[in-house]
Amino acid sequence: MWPLILIASFVVPISTGSCGGGAPWDSYCHSSSDGSQVDVGAGSTIPGNGDGSAGGSGSDSGGGGANQQDSPAEAMPECTTELCRGGYMVVGLPDVTLADIASFVPARPTLGGEPAGLGVVAMPTNVVASATEQRMAGTVLDYDVTVRFVPQRFVFDYGDGSTNAAQTGGSSWQQLGQPDFTSTPTSHAYRAAGTYTASVTVEYAASVDFGSGTWRAVPGIVESTASGYGIRVVEVHTALVDNTCQENPAGVGC
């Protein structure tokens, strides 16, 4: 006698907590058995906006699903503050080069020394130059500007092939509190007697103000030279005499 095997297939309604039944989703669960195991599953349909038919084979969706449309982008609110008033255009200031300020020329430095126009072989001759900050108003690239020149370095040429660069133009022995014929940052000792022509070149840093009070640096340097300072260098010999030159202007060596 053959054993009797029952195969059952049924649909079991599932509570809302298990299959989430309830609008807008239509949820259901199903189970089936082949005698040796029970298969339990769940499914859901989306309510349609038309008359969909229940799927006999399980492949039909039971109606057209609801289409989710993108919400329209929100329009940007109109700016009503004073910062958004129309009729304005942002304009960047131009970059200025040395060629643009070629018409602005700083004044020449002054050049002197001590003893005035004289020097002694192998002893320091103090050469002193002077240059200060200068400002000039004018027009650059169709803008009303102020151009500023600030001394950065003093390059001395002593006329015998020797040069010296200093951050300042130097000071007198008296200003430095030093005895005469002592070394200073700008002095030079000549090795031979003769007449020499000294000069100095001042290197300026340039900047431009477009009226805002802010200085915009101009790349490079602007040079200004003072030349033609003659120095007669002599040798000094010591000799014993009866009188000084003041006492006897016609004496030896006077």
What is the DSSP secondary-structure string of 175-211?
HHT--TT---TTEEE-SS-EEEEEEEEEEEEEEEE-S
Rounded to a whole number of angstroms, the CA Rg of the chain reads: 50
Any domain includes 171? yes
pLDDT above 50 (res 85): yes
Q: Are residues 29 and 144 in the same domain?
A: no
The span from the CA of 142 to the CA of 104, in Å, is: 15
pLDDT score, position 178: 98
Q: Are 121 and 86 in contact (CB under 8 A)?
A: no
pLDDT range class, residue 82, cuts 50, 70, 90: low
Q: Are residues 30 and 102 in the same domain?
A: no
230 and 105 in a single domain? The answer is: yes
pLDDT band for 80, please (50, 70, 90 cuts): low
Based on the domain organization, do 118 and 193 belong to the same domain?
yes
Residue 56 has what pLDDT?
44
Q: Which of 62-71, 104-113, 141-150, 204-213 has the lowest mean pLDDT?
A: 62-71
End-to-end CA distance of the chain: 162
Tell me whether residue 83 is in a domain: no
- Do residues 25 and 133 share a domain? no
CB of 117 within 8 A of CB of 189? Answer: no
pTM of this prediction?
Answer: 0.61
> How does residue 251 score in pLDDT terms, banded at 50, 70 and 90?
confident
Domain range for 24 is: 9-45
Q: Which residues contact 232 (CB under 8 A, 6 or more apart)?
A: 117, 118, 119, 194, 195
> Is residue 126 a contact partner of residue 117, using CB atoms and an 8 Å limit?
no
For the cut 80, the answer to whether the pLDDT of residue 119 exceeds it is yes
- CB neighbour list of residue 53: distance below 8 Å, 6 or more residues apart: 60, 62, 63
Q: Clarify whether residues 217 and 128 are in a common domain.
A: yes
Evaluate if residue 186 carries a pLDDT over 50: yes
> Please, what's the b/e burial string for 195-222 (b: 16 or more CB within 10 A of its CB; e: otherwise)?
ebebbbbbbbbbbbbbeeeeeeebeeeb
> Is the pLDDT at 61 greater than 60, yes or no?
no
39-44: Cβ within 8 A, 24+ apart: 42/14, 42/18, 44/19, 44/20
Share of the chain above pLDDT 70, in %: 64
Q: Over the chain, what is the mean pLDDT?
A: 79
Count of structural domains, the chain: 2
Of 67-71, 139-143, 210-214, the least confident: 67-71
pLDDT bin (cut points 50, 70, 90) of residue 73 is low
pLDDT value at residue 188: 99
- On whether the CB atoms of residues 131 and 109 are closer than 8 A, the answer is yes
Distance CA 216, CA 230 (A): 39
Tell me what pLDDT residue 243 has.
84
Q: If you average pLDDT over residues 111-126, what whole number do you get?
A: 97
Residues 141 and 214 in one domain: yes
202 shares a domain with 128: yes
